[in-house]
């Protein structure tokens, strides 16, 4: 695992130094001194990432197989991956639907979806909570804290 | 079970949606975006006017601070909002004249907004530390010419940044970008602190931000950018120094909507703001902080902002200060 | 006016039930606000501000100070119970507080958090009263070079919170430093990794990153392994913190209080780094070093002492210089100004009654915090008993609302989700999250102060060693790096 990390860090550093920083960080042409350039600090960070990666690789080789912390195994890895994909999809959907549907209704749907995704043992409670929690939060944030909670295009709450 | 709940939910939703659609503006709370953080000049100004303005509007005004990128993040939210008058912006000198003049990469221009008013003007003052030995603008200018000085600001493209350059340029410093070093800080409070602790020689900022330091004798004002002297500031006005061009250099707060805001909405705002700014308590609180309450009609506001923008833009182009990257 | 006269004048101002009540209301608002992620102490103070305008100046300011102090403590409640810091200052409390909650000892952790908070608060208030003048003059000698040295030293905290592997901690910190570069460049105003998106130009919102990194991975983990928590009790527990434990942690609490006072009196650092520094110092000195991060009560004590120690001390630059030390005091300055008071040296001459009134009120506030905090812990008790598979969707929804409310921006919700996945992957690879967070806070400060120093000196590096303060912190930095290196080498040897 440490080896993977090390290799990953080295690739990330190379990507940063060779592609990301030159392309995505802009620097004016009239920079007086290299240490003042907007590029200076990102390059240092890129270099340090590479060094850390190398160090991880070296120490990882020394104690291959031993000393690596182990993750707790789960019974159904295949379904686990499916559930992870589902929750990722849920987050993407929540983010894109929210401006259109409004935060309250989106949160209700997200609540129900997540509760059933993790196979809750209290479906009725989950359902009630899914309706009550976003409404209570809305009441609090919108009317006590006076935050403009996004209302969406369809149904407005008072 | 699940279905019945969903049904109930839909019914509830329909009931709410069936509420009157064709009511007169404003029929619900208006979201007012403040593009700067809590405690800053814009925030205090906005929250002070919120109360009388809310009374005039007759609907709650919901204040939302959306900070980031020198006011750009919040401004963009209003730029992209529906022009229905329910999302309005507290525009400020930094976000709407200085930044457009200085930043080529800014995601909006002045044309993306329709200004309904400018209601507050803040004069600008330049100040140094009392123990710096600098007693007047002339001494500051000659020190800049001979040894070079430095000035602090609340960030690149902020009013403080442009103000210092503008002042030095007006006082005849050749190549002020080379002679005076800009030391940007994070925010207006830090900019004042930088002069207090000797990091920078001077700063030019709103009198409201300097008032307490001046009253306490921690900072010495050298000049105010007005025609008349400002109470509490023992310093000559720009006009008395013969630099009347500098009176363009003032801070302001106004209200804007997206550019295709309907006329009737703009007219309504003009009426509301005139009523709100007449509120005695509001005027008293704002003048106590060094602001001048001056309500402009939508047309006046547009002219005022356009003129200031062009003045700033001309300076930026002359000195090559525009940020392209 | 003699000291006695001043104190009497102050007493005359605050010796009434209105002042006492405002303070108590403030503390209640603060604790509740701090306990709701996304409200945070900052927002609670900002929300309470307009309500203080019609009040007597002293009562209004006391109310706001109550909110501030309550908020800093309140943040530790969700940090311990649901691993979501209610306020950035309480992120260090998660490290040991949440493991304790997972072991069914949330009550003990919360109790210790309260005791440590009140003690540190008291120490901080005393420091304000006795050393305001001295510390304030010290604060103004901190220019960019001094800050740079101080922050460089503070970054060595990372070694203390890296857990089992220093290299993984370093990787985590580098990731934090890199993500903190997103936004507009300080000196030239050019874009860095923004892809032209105005939402990215302001940089990643700190709260969104914080909540994403700590709370969302729990939600994702629940989806990966829905039954993983079964068999592990998550309860408030019957055990309450004992006086013996308090006594055992007392040194750490006092040390944390002083770290808080010191960092709080310097404008621009804030409570979160103080909490982390206090935590890592406590860990370094403790005989139970190995238990830190796994549910060590002293860790909770140290973190809470560190952040509450800041609360009184940030008023030092505020009252003595008129300089706000952080966002919260910047808002409180607004309250002073509305009432025509101008904080600064002259205030000690012109409004000495208000100054002493505030001092007396602050001393009272520690006691009120103790009572209100104790009630709040009981009030939030049910949270610990909610079944986890109902709690997690609740946490998700709460985080969505909370993160939105911080900056009224849906984009931040997206940032939170993405950071949640980063945090999940990091935890799968056993990369600790705390170094990421510290680096994310301190990284921009380090870079900005370095570049400001270079601007001051015309790019000559000599300025970084310009005075005794810089020498002191450089020396500390070197000493701690040597100590860390030796410790790591020794650990590596003993493993072989």
Q: Tens digit of pLDDT for each residue in C393-413?
A: 888 888 888 888 878 889 999
Nearest-angstrom CA–CA distance, B325 and B314: 20
Q: Please tell me the least confidently modeled range out of B169-178, B226-235, C347-356.
A: C347-356
pLDDT bracket for residue C235 (50, 70, 90): low
Provide, as residue numbers in chain A, all residues whose Cβ is less than 8 Å from the Cβ of C428.
Answer: 71
Sign of CA dihedral A104, A106, A109, A111: negative
Q: For C59-116, how does the pLDDT look when each residue is reduced to its tens digit (9 = 90+)? A: 889 999 999 999 999 989 988 888 888 788 888 899 899 888 888 888 889 999 999 9
pLDDT bracket for residue B14 (50, 70, 90): very low
Q: Please tell me the least confidently modeled range out of A8-12, C200-204, C483-487.
A: C483-487
Closest CA to C107 of C385, C386, C396, C390: C385
* Mean pLDDT computed over B175-204: 88
Nearest-angstrom CA–CA distance, B270 and B265: 9
Chains that touch C (3 or more CB pairs under 8 A): A, B
pLDDT for the residue B16: 43
Domain boundaries of chain A, sorted by first residue: 2-62, 77-144
Nearest-angstrom CA–CA distance, B113 and B100: 12
At residue B30, the 3 state secondary structure works out as strand
Q: For B240-253, how does the pLDDT look when each residue is reduced to its tens digit (9 = 90+)? A: 988 888 888 999 99
Return the residue of B nearest to C54 by Cα: B281
- Asked if C46 is an interface residue toward chain A (Cβ–Cβ < 8 A), one would say no
* Of C35 and A67, more confident: C35
Distances (CA, A) of C77 to C98, C214, C290, C378: 10, 14, 25, 11
DSSP structure string for A107-156: HHHHHHHHHHHTT-S-HHHHHHHHHHHHHHHHIIIIIIS-------SS--
Chains that touch B (3 or more CB pairs under 8 A): A, C
pLDDT for the residue B4: 43
Nearest-angstrom CA–CA distance, A105 and A154: 10
pLDDT for the residue B22: 43
Nearest-angstrom CA–CA distance, A150 and C47: 19
Q: Please tell me the least confidently modeled range out of B42-56, B75-89, C34-48, C360-374.
A: C34-48
pLDDT for the residue B7: 43
Q: For A37-68, how does the pLDDT look when each residue is reduced to its tens digit (9 = 90+)? A: 888 889 999 999 999 999 888 887 776 555 55
Angstroms from A140 CA to nearest CA on chain B: 14
pLDDT bracket for residue C42 (50, 70, 90): confident
pLDDT bracket for residue B15 (50, 70, 90): very low
Nearest-angstrom CA–CA distance, B233 and C343: 17
pLDDT bracket for residue B8 (50, 70, 90): very low
Instruction: Give contacts of A 82-111 with C, CB under 8 A.
Output: 83-84, 86-88, 91-92, 94-95, 98-99, 103, 107, 110-111
pLDDT for the residue B13: 43
| Averaged confidence pLDDT in chain A | 85
H or E element that contains B65: strand B61-65
Task: Kindly determine whether residue B1 and residue A124, on different chains, have CB atoms separated by under 8 Å.
Answer: yes
Name the token pair of B193. Answer: 């602190």
* Of C165 and C310, more confident: C310
Give which of A23, A102, A104, A148 to mutate to test B binding, by max B Cβ within 10 Å.
Answer: A148
Strand order in the sheet with B180-184: B180-184, B149-153, B202-206, B124-128, B220-224
| Averaged confidence pLDDT in chain B | 85
Distances (CA, A) of C61 to B238, C66, C327: 37, 9, 16
pLDDT of C224 above 80: yes
Q: For B97-121, how does the pLDDT look when each residue is reduced to its tens digit (9 = 90+)? A: 999 999 888 889 998 999 999 999 8
pLDDT for the residue C327: 72
* Mean pLDDT computed over B174-202: 87
Nearest-angstrom CA–CA distance, C158 and C427: 17
Are the CB atoms for C146 and C470 separated by under 8 Å?
yes
Are the CB atoms for C121 and C254 separated by under 8 Å?
no
Angstroms from A94 CA to nearest CA on chain B: 19
* Of C389 and C350, more confident: C389
How far separated are the first and last CA of chain B, in Å rounded?
Answer: 58
What ranges in chain B are assigned the alpha helix state H? 2-17, 41-57, 72-79, 93, 99-102, 137-146, 159-170, 176-179, 188-196, 207-215, 263-277, 280-288, 298-319
Strand order in the sheet with B30-34: B61-65, B30-34, B87-92, B251-258, B113-122, B292-293
Q: Which pTM was predicted? A: 0.82
Return the residue of A nearest to B323 by Cα: A28
Q: How many CB atoms lie within 10 A of CB B248?
A: 18
pLDDT bracket for residue B18 (50, 70, 90): very low
pLDDT for the residue B257: 92
Are the CB atoms for C163 and C293 separated by under 8 Å?
yes
pLDDT for the residue C303: 93
Give which of B4, B7, B13 to mutate to test A binding, by max A Cβ within 10 Å.
Answer: B13
Return the residue of A nearest to B11 by Cα: A155
pLDDT for the residue C228: 67
Give one word for C266, left, alpha or beta, with left for phi > 0 and alpha for psi -120 to 50: beta
pLDDT for the residue B59: 86
pLDDT for the residue B2: 42
Are the CB atoms for B157 and B324 separated by under 8 Å?
no
H helix count then E strand count, chain A: 6, 0
This complex has an ipTM of: 0.91
pLDDT for the residue C206: 78
pLDDT bracket for residue A19 (50, 70, 90): confident
H or E element that contains B153: strand B149-153
> What percent of chain C is modeled with pLDDT above 70?
91
| Averaged confidence pLDDT in chain C | 83
pLDDT for the residue B10: 43
Q: For C422-462, how does the pLDDT look when each residue is reduced to its tens digit (9 = 90+)? A: 999 998 888 888 888 878 878 888 898 899 999 888 888 88
Angstroms from C247 CA to nearest CA on chain A: 35
Provide, as residue numbers in chain C, all residues whose Cβ is less than 8 Å from the Cβ of B184.
Answer: 186-187, 452
pLDDT for the residue B289: 75
Provide, as residue numbers in chain B, all residues whose Cβ is less than 8 Å from the Cβ of A27.
Answer: 325
Closest CA to A28 of C190, B48, C403: C190
pLDDT of B320 above 70: yes
Are the CB atoms for B60 and C63 separated by under 8 Å?
no
pLDDT of B325 above 70: no
Q: Which of C141, C188, C327 sits opposite B323 (nearest CB)?
A: C188
pLDDT for the residue C38: 63
Closest CA to C77 of C126, C29, C33, C110: C110
For C460, phi and psi rounded to 5 degrees?
A: -95, 125
* Mean pLDDT computed over C304-320: 87
Provide, as residue numbers in chain A, all residues whose Cβ is less than 8 Å from the Cβ of B323.
Answer: 28
pLDDT for the residue C377: 86
Instruction: Give contacts of B 211-250 with C, CB under 8 A.
Output: 211-213, 215-218
pLDDT of C2 above 70: no
What ranges in C36-165 are assigned the alpha helix state H? 40-52, 57-74, 76-82, 91-102, 106-139, 144-155, 157-160
């Amino acid at each position: 695992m440490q080896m993977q990390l090390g290799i990953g860090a080295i690739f990330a550093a190379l990507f940063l130094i060779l592609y990301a920083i030159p392309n995505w960080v802009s620097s004016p042409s009239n920079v007086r001194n290299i240490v003042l350039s907007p590029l200076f600090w990102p390059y240092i960070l890129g270099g340090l990432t590479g060094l850390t990666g190398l160090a991880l690789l070296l120490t990882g080789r020394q104690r291959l197989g031993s000393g690596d912390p182990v993750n707790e195994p789960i019974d159904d890895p295949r379904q686990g991956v499916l559930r992870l994909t589902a929750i990722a999809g849920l987050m993407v959907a929540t983010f894109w639907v929210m401006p259109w549907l409004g935060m309250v209704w989106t949160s209700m749907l997200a609540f129900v979806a997540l509760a059933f995704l993790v196979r809750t043992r209290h479906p009725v409670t989950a359902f009630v909570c899914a309706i009550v929690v976003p409404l209570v939060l809305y009441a609090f944030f919108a009317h006590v804290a006076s935050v403009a909670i996004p209302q969406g295009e369809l149904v407005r709450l008072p | 079970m699940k279905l019945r709940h969903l049904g109930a939910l839909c019914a509830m939703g329909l009931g709410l949606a069936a509420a009157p659609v064709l009511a007169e503006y404003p029929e619900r709370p208006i979201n007012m975006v403040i593009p700067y953080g809590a405690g800053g000049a814009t925030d205090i100004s906005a929250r002070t006017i919120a109360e009388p303005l809310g009374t005039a509007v007759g609907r709650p005004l919901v204040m939302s601070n959306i900070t980031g990128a020198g006011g750009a993040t919040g401004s963009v939210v209003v730029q992209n909002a529906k022009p229905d008058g329910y999302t309005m912006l507290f525009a400020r000198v930094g976000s709407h004249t200085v930044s457009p003049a200085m930043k080529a990469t800014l995601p909006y221009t002045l044309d993306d907004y329709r200004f309904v008013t400018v209601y507050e003007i803040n004069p600008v003052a330049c100040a140094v530390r009392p123990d710096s030995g600098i007693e007047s603008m002339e001494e500051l200018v000659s020190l800049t010419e001979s040894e070079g000085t430095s000035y602090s600001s609340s960030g690149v493209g902020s009013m403080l940044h442009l103000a210092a350059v503008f002042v030095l340029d007006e006082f005849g410093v050749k190549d002020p970008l080379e002679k005076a070093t800009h030391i940007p800080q994070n925010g207006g409070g830090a900019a004042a602190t930088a002069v207090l602790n000797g990091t920078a020689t001077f700063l030019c900022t709103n009198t409201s931000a300097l008032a307490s330091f001046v009253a306490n004798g921690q900072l010495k004002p050298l000049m105010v950018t007005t025609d008349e002297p400002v109470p509490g500031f023992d310093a000559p006005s720009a006009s008395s120094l013969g630099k009347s061009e500098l009176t363009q250099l003032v801070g302001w707060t106004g209200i804007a909507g997206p550019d295709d805001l309907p006329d009737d909405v703009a007219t309504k705002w003009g009426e509301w703001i005139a009523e709100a700014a007449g509120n005695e308590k509001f005027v008293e609180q704002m003048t106590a902080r060094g602001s001048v309450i001056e309500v402009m009609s939508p047309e006046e506001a547009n002219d005022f902002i356009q003129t200031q923008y062009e003045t700033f833009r001309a300076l930026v182009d002359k000195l090559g200060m525009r940020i392209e990257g | 006016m003699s000291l006695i006269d001043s104190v009497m004048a102050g007493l005359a101002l605050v010796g009434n039930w209105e002042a006492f009540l405002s303070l108590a209301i403030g503390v209640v608002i603060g604790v509740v606000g701090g306990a709701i992620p996304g409200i945070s102490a900052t927002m609670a103070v900002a929300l309470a501000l307009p309500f203080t305008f019609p009040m007597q100046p002293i009562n209004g300011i006391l109310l706001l100070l109550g909110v501030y102090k309550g908020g800093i403590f309140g943040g530790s409640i969700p940090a311990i119970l649901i691993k979501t810091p209610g306020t950035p200052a309480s992120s260090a409390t998660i490290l040991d507080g949440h493991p304790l909650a997972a072991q069914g000892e949330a009550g003990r952790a919360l109790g210790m958090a309260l005791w440590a908070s009140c003690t540190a608060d008291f120490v901080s208030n005393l420091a304000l009263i006795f050393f305001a003048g001295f510390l304030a003059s010290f604060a103004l000698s901190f220019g960019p070079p001094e800050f740079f040295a101080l922050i460089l030293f503070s970054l060595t905290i990372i070694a203390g919170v890296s857990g089992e592997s220093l290299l993984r901690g370093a990787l985590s910190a580098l990731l934090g430093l890199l993500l903190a570069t997103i936004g507009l460049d300080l000196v030239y105003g050019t874009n860095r990794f923004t892809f032209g998106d105005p939402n990215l130009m302001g940089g990643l919102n700190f709260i969104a990153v914080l909540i994403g990194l700590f709370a969302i991975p729990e939600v994702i983990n629940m989806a990966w392994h829905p039954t993983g928590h079964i068999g592990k009790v998550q309860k408030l527990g019957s055990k309450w913190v004992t006086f013996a434990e308090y006594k055992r942690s007392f040194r750490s609490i006092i040390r944390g209080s002083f770290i808080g006072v010191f960092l709080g009196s310097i404008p621009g650092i804030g409570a979160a780094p103080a909490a982390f520094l206090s935590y890592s110092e406590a860990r370094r000195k403790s005989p139970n070093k190995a238990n830190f991060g796994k549910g060590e009560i002293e860790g909770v004590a140290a973190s809470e002492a560190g952040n509450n120690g800041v609360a009184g001390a940030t008023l030092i630059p505020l009252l003595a210089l008129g300089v706000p030390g952080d966002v919260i005091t910047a808002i409180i300055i607004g309250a002073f100004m509305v009432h025509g008071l101008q904080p600064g040296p002259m205030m000690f001459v012109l409004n000495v009654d208000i100054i002493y009134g505030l001092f007396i009120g602050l001393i009272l506030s520690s006691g009120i915090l103790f009572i209100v905090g104790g009630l709040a812990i009981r009030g939030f008790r049910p949270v610990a008993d909610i079944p986890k598979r109902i709690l997690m969707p609740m946490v998700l929804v709460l985080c969505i609302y909370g993160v939105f409310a911080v900056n009224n921006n849906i984009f931040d919700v997206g940032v939170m989700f993405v950071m949640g996945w980063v945090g999940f992957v990091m935890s799968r690879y056993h990369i600790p999250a705390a170094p990421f967070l510290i680096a994310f806070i301190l990284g921009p400060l380090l870079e900005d102060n370095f570049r400001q120093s270079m601007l001051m000196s015309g790019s000559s590096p000599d300025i970084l060693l310009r005075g005794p303060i810089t020498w002191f912190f450089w020396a500390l930095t070197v000493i701690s790096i040597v100590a860390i290196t030796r410790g790591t080498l020794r650990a590596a040897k003993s493993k072989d």
